[in-house]
Amino acid sequence: MLIIVGIITFLFSIICAKLPLVLPKQNSIINFDDIINSTSTEGVAIPFNYGGLSWQNVLVLNGVDYDIPNAGFITGVVSPKYVAFNGYGNPMSISSASGSLFTINSFYSCAAWNDNISVEIVGKRSGDVLYRKTVALLIHTRIFVELNWSGIDSIYFNSTCKNYCDATHFTIDNLNVIL
Ligand SMILES: *[C@@H]1O[C@H](CO)[C@@H](O)[C@H](O)[C@H]1NC(C)=O
Ligand SMILES: *[C@@H]1O[C@H](CO)[C@@H](O)[C@H](O)[C@H]1NC(C)=O
Ligand SMILES: *[C@@H]1O[C@H](CO)[C@@H](O)[C@H](O)[C@H]1NC(C)=O
Ligand SMILES: *[C@@H]1O[C@H](CO)[C@@H](O)[C@H](O)[C@H]1NC(C)=O
Protein backbone atom coordinates (compact mmCIF):
# COMPACT_ATOMS: atom_id res chain seq x y z
CA MET A 1 0.00 0.00 0.00
CA LEU A 2 2.76 2.42 1.00
CA ILE A 3 4.59 1.53 -2.19
CA ILE A 4 1.53 2.37 -4.31
CA VAL A 5 1.06 5.69 -2.49
CA GLY A 6 4.75 6.38 -3.02
CA ILE A 7 4.53 5.67 -6.75
CA ILE A 8 1.45 7.85 -7.13
CA THR A 9 3.11 10.71 -5.21
CA PHE A 10 6.21 10.32 -7.39
CA LEU A 11 4.21 10.40 -10.64
CA PHE A 12 2.18 13.35 -9.39
CA SER A 13 5.34 15.32 -8.60
CA ILE A 14 6.69 14.66 -12.12
CA ILE A 15 3.45 15.88 -13.70
CA CYS A 16 3.42 19.01 -11.50
CA ALA A 17 7.05 19.78 -12.29
CA LYS A 18 6.20 19.79 -15.99
CA LEU A 19 3.32 22.24 -15.64
CA PRO A 20 4.47 25.87 -15.94
CA LEU A 21 3.35 28.08 -13.06
CA VAL A 22 2.38 30.89 -15.44
CA LEU A 23 0.95 30.11 -18.84
CA PRO A 24 3.06 31.64 -21.60
CA LYS A 25 1.53 34.71 -23.22
CA GLN A 26 0.25 34.22 -26.73
CA ASN A 27 1.41 35.95 -29.88
CA SER A 28 -1.21 38.05 -31.55
CA ILE A 29 -1.22 39.35 -35.09
CA ILE A 30 -2.35 42.94 -35.48
CA ASN A 31 -3.64 43.15 -39.04
CA PHE A 32 -5.22 46.64 -39.06
CA ASP A 33 -8.27 45.31 -40.96
CA ASP A 34 -10.93 45.93 -38.30
CA ILE A 35 -10.40 49.63 -37.58
CA ILE A 36 -12.34 51.35 -40.34
CA ASN A 37 -14.60 50.34 -43.20
CA SER A 38 -13.88 52.66 -46.04
CA THR A 39 -12.10 52.75 -49.31
CA SER A 40 -10.19 55.75 -48.01
CA THR A 41 -6.68 55.95 -49.30
CA GLU A 42 -6.04 59.11 -47.30
CA GLY A 43 -4.98 57.51 -44.07
CA VAL A 44 -6.82 57.46 -40.76
CA ALA A 45 -5.08 57.59 -37.37
CA ILE A 46 -5.07 54.29 -35.51
CA PRO A 47 -7.10 54.81 -32.31
CA PHE A 48 -5.52 54.63 -28.86
CA ASN A 49 -5.50 51.14 -27.37
CA TYR A 50 -6.05 49.34 -30.70
CA GLY A 51 -4.36 45.99 -30.08
CA GLY A 52 -3.52 47.21 -26.56
CA LEU A 53 -1.05 49.73 -27.94
CA SER A 54 -0.71 53.49 -28.31
CA TRP A 55 0.05 54.64 -31.85
CA GLN A 56 1.91 57.89 -32.55
CA ASN A 57 1.67 59.06 -36.15
CA VAL A 58 0.66 55.57 -37.29
CA LEU A 59 -2.11 55.77 -39.90
CA VAL A 60 -4.06 53.09 -41.71
CA LEU A 61 -5.38 53.03 -45.27
CA ASN A 62 -7.04 50.69 -47.72
CA GLY A 63 -4.14 49.34 -49.76
CA VAL A 64 -6.16 46.94 -51.92
CA ASP A 65 -8.25 49.73 -53.46
CA TYR A 66 -5.38 52.19 -53.60
CA ASP A 67 -5.83 54.00 -56.87
CA ILE A 68 -2.35 55.30 -57.63
CA PRO A 69 -0.56 52.69 -59.73
CA ASN A 70 2.88 51.52 -58.62
CA ALA A 71 2.45 52.66 -55.03
CA GLY A 72 3.90 50.32 -52.42
CA PHE A 73 0.67 50.56 -50.42
CA ILE A 74 -0.62 47.72 -52.61
CA THR A 75 2.56 45.64 -52.21
CA GLY A 76 2.40 46.18 -48.46
CA VAL A 77 -0.95 44.43 -47.95
CA VAL A 78 -0.54 40.99 -46.38
CA SER A 79 -4.03 40.60 -44.90
CA PRO A 80 -6.53 42.60 -46.95
CA LYS A 81 -7.51 45.36 -47.07
CA TYR A 82 -5.65 47.66 -44.71
CA VAL A 83 -2.01 48.52 -44.06
CA ALA A 84 -0.46 50.82 -41.51
CA PHE A 85 2.12 53.45 -42.42
CA ASN A 86 4.04 56.40 -41.02
CA GLY A 87 1.94 59.55 -41.46
CA TYR A 88 3.39 62.09 -43.91
CA GLY A 89 6.54 59.96 -44.11
CA ASN A 90 7.54 61.27 -40.69
CA PRO A 91 8.85 59.25 -37.74
CA MET A 92 6.26 57.10 -35.97
CA SER A 93 6.24 55.13 -32.75
CA ILE A 94 4.21 52.52 -30.94
CA SER A 95 4.11 52.20 -27.18
CA SER A 96 2.25 50.18 -24.60
CA ALA A 97 -1.21 51.59 -23.83
CA SER A 98 -1.07 50.26 -20.26
CA GLY A 99 2.58 50.99 -19.58
CA SER A 100 3.46 47.30 -19.35
CA LEU A 101 6.28 45.76 -21.32
CA PHE A 102 5.65 43.99 -24.62
CA THR A 103 7.39 42.04 -27.37
CA ILE A 104 7.52 42.89 -31.06
CA ASN A 105 8.31 39.73 -32.97
CA SER A 106 7.89 40.72 -36.60
CA PHE A 107 5.98 42.52 -39.34
CA TYR A 108 5.90 42.86 -43.12
CA SER A 109 7.06 46.07 -44.73
CA CYS A 110 7.80 47.85 -47.99
CA ALA A 111 8.41 51.38 -49.26
CA ALA A 112 5.39 53.34 -50.49
CA TRP A 113 6.91 55.79 -52.99
CA ASN A 114 10.69 55.46 -53.28
CA ASP A 115 13.06 52.51 -53.51
CA ASN A 116 15.89 52.07 -51.03
CA ILE A 117 14.52 54.17 -48.24
CA SER A 118 16.07 53.04 -45.02
CA VAL A 119 14.12 52.67 -41.81
CA GLU A 120 15.89 52.82 -38.49
CA ILE A 121 13.98 50.89 -35.83
CA VAL A 122 14.76 51.39 -32.15
CA GLY A 123 13.32 49.44 -29.21
CA LYS A 124 13.39 51.16 -25.81
CA ARG A 125 12.52 50.52 -22.20
CA SER A 126 12.24 53.49 -19.79
CA GLY A 127 14.02 55.63 -22.37
CA ASP A 128 17.01 53.28 -22.68
CA VAL A 129 17.81 51.89 -26.13
CA LEU A 130 17.72 48.08 -25.92
CA TYR A 131 17.63 47.23 -29.62
CA ARG A 132 18.44 48.90 -32.91
CA LYS A 133 18.08 47.70 -36.49
CA THR A 134 18.04 49.37 -39.91
CA VAL A 135 16.24 47.88 -42.92
CA ALA A 136 16.23 49.00 -46.58
CA LEU A 137 12.88 48.88 -48.34
CA LEU A 138 11.70 48.67 -51.96
CA ILE A 139 8.32 49.54 -53.47
CA HIS A 140 7.59 46.28 -55.26
CA THR A 141 9.11 43.81 -52.83
CA ARG A 142 7.64 43.29 -49.39
CA ILE A 143 10.02 41.99 -46.74
CA PHE A 144 9.51 40.11 -43.49
CA VAL A 145 11.22 42.00 -40.68
CA GLU A 146 11.92 39.71 -37.75
CA LEU A 147 12.94 41.47 -34.54
CA ASN A 148 12.01 39.27 -31.54
CA TRP A 149 12.43 42.30 -29.28
CA SER A 150 11.09 41.52 -25.81
CA GLY A 151 10.77 43.66 -22.69
CA ILE A 152 10.28 46.97 -24.47
CA ASP A 153 7.77 49.73 -23.71
CA SER A 154 8.14 51.59 -27.02
CA ILE A 155 9.39 51.14 -30.56
CA TYR A 156 10.41 53.98 -32.90
CA PHE A 157 10.60 54.04 -36.69
CA ASN A 158 12.47 56.74 -38.60
CA SER A 159 12.69 56.49 -42.38
CA THR A 160 15.16 58.39 -44.54
CA CYS A 161 16.57 58.33 -48.08
CA LYS A 162 20.27 58.29 -48.82
CA ASN A 163 19.91 61.11 -51.28
CA TYR A 164 17.01 63.53 -51.30
CA CYS A 165 13.64 61.96 -52.07
CA ASP A 166 10.20 63.49 -51.71
CA ALA A 167 8.52 60.83 -49.57
CA THR A 168 9.70 58.28 -47.03
CA HIS A 169 6.40 56.54 -46.30
CA PHE A 170 6.62 52.81 -45.58
CA THR A 171 4.04 50.15 -44.75
CA ILE A 172 3.53 47.73 -41.88
CA ASP A 173 1.14 44.79 -41.90
CA ASN A 174 0.57 41.70 -39.76
CA LEU A 175 2.46 43.02 -36.77
CA ASN A 176 3.24 40.05 -34.52
CA VAL A 177 3.28 41.10 -30.87
CA ILE A 178 3.07 39.60 -27.39
CA LEU A 179 1.39 41.84 -24.84
C1 LIG B 1 -16.70 46.41 -41.25
O2 LIG B 1 -17.67 45.70 -42.01
C3 LIG B 1 -17.75 44.32 -41.67
C4 LIG B 1 -18.72 43.66 -42.65
O5 LIG B 1 -19.87 44.43 -42.80
C6 LIG B 1 -18.21 44.20 -40.21
O7 LIG B 1 -18.24 42.85 -39.85
C8 LIG B 1 -17.21 44.93 -39.32
O9 LIG B 1 -17.66 44.92 -37.98
C10 LIG B 1 -17.03 46.39 -39.77
N11 LIG B 1 -15.94 46.99 -38.99
C12 LIG B 1 -15.99 48.25 -38.53
C13 LIG B 1 -14.77 48.71 -37.78
O14 LIG B 1 -16.93 48.99 -38.71
C1 LIG C 1 18.38 50.56 -54.86
O2 LIG C 1 19.43 49.70 -54.42
C3 LIG C 1 19.75 48.70 -55.38
C4 LIG C 1 20.74 47.77 -54.74
O5 LIG C 1 21.69 48.49 -53.98
C6 LIG C 1 20.27 49.38 -56.65
O7 LIG C 1 20.54 48.40 -57.62
C8 LIG C 1 19.19 50.34 -57.19
O9 LIG C 1 19.69 51.07 -58.30
C10 LIG C 1 18.75 51.32 -56.10
N11 LIG C 1 17.62 52.10 -56.60
C12 LIG C 1 17.48 53.40 -56.33
C13 LIG C 1 16.25 54.06 -56.89
O14 LIG C 1 18.30 54.04 -55.68
C1 LIG D 1 12.90 34.92 -33.83
O2 LIG D 1 12.28 33.87 -33.10
C3 LIG D 1 11.89 32.77 -33.92
C4 LIG D 1 11.07 31.82 -33.07
O5 LIG D 1 11.73 31.51 -31.87
C6 LIG D 1 13.16 32.12 -34.49
O7 LIG D 1 12.79 31.05 -35.33
C8 LIG D 1 13.92 33.16 -35.30
O9 LIG D 1 15.13 32.63 -35.78
C10 LIG D 1 14.19 34.41 -34.46
N11 LIG D 1 14.75 35.43 -35.35
C12 LIG D 1 15.58 36.40 -34.94
C13 LIG D 1 16.02 37.36 -35.96
O14 LIG D 1 15.94 36.49 -33.78
C1 LIG E 1 15.51 60.60 -38.05
O2 LIG E 1 16.72 60.48 -38.80
C3 LIG E 1 17.21 61.70 -39.25
C4 LIG E 1 18.40 61.42 -40.15
O5 LIG E 1 19.29 60.54 -39.55
C6 LIG E 1 17.58 62.56 -38.04
O7 LIG E 1 18.06 63.83 -38.48
C8 LIG E 1 16.36 62.76 -37.17
O9 LIG E 1 16.71 63.44 -35.99
C10 LIG E 1 15.74 61.41 -36.80
N11 LIG E 1 14.48 61.64 -36.10
C12 LIG E 1 14.12 60.93 -35.05
C13 LIG E 1 12.79 61.28 -34.43
O14 LIG E 1 14.80 60.03 -34.57
Is 40 part of a structural domain of the chain?
A: yes
pLDDT score for 11: 53
- The DSSP code for 87 is G
- Read off the pLDDT band of 48 (50, 70, 90): very high
For 142-158, what is the mean pLDDT? 98
Q: What percent of the chain has pLDDT over 90?
A: 76
**What is the domain-level CATH number for residue 127?**
2.60.120.1350
Whether the per-residue pLDDT at 133 is higher than 60: the answer is yes
| Closest protein CA for atom 4 of ligand 1 | 37
Residue 140 forms part of a structural domain? yes
Query: Would residue 9 count as lying in a domain?
Result: no
Indicate the number of domains in the chain. 1
What is the distance in A from the centroid of ligand 2 to the CA of 63?
Answer: 24
pLDDT value at residue 125: 98
List, in sequence order, every residue forming a beta bridge with 155; answer none if it has no partner.
Answer: 94, 123
Report in angstroms the alpha-carbon separations of 154 from 43, 53, 85, 103, 128: 22, 9, 17, 10, 10
Q: Domain range spanning residue 145?
A: 25-178
Q: Quick: pLDDT tens for 64-96.
A: 999 898 899 999 999 999 999 999 999 999 999
Q: Find all residues with CB under 8 Å of 3, minimum gap 6, and list them.
A: none
**Residue 29 falls within a domain, yes or no?**
yes
Whole-number Å distance between alpha carbons of 61 and 95: 20
For the whole model, what pTM was predicted?
A: 0.84
Would you say residue 130 lies in a domain? Answer: yes
Q: What's 19's DSSP letter?
A: S
Q: Whose CA is nearest to atom 9 of ligand 3?
A: 146
Ligand 2: which atom is nearest the Cα of residue 115? 13
In this structure, the residue with its CA closest to atom 1 of ligand 2 is: 116
The answer to whether position 44 is within a domain reads yes
Structural domain contains residue 19: no
Model confidence band, residue 26 (pLDDT cutoffs 50, 70, 90): confident
Mean pLDDT of the chain: 90
Residue 1: inside a domain = no
Closest by Cα among 154, 97, 93, 148 to 119:
93
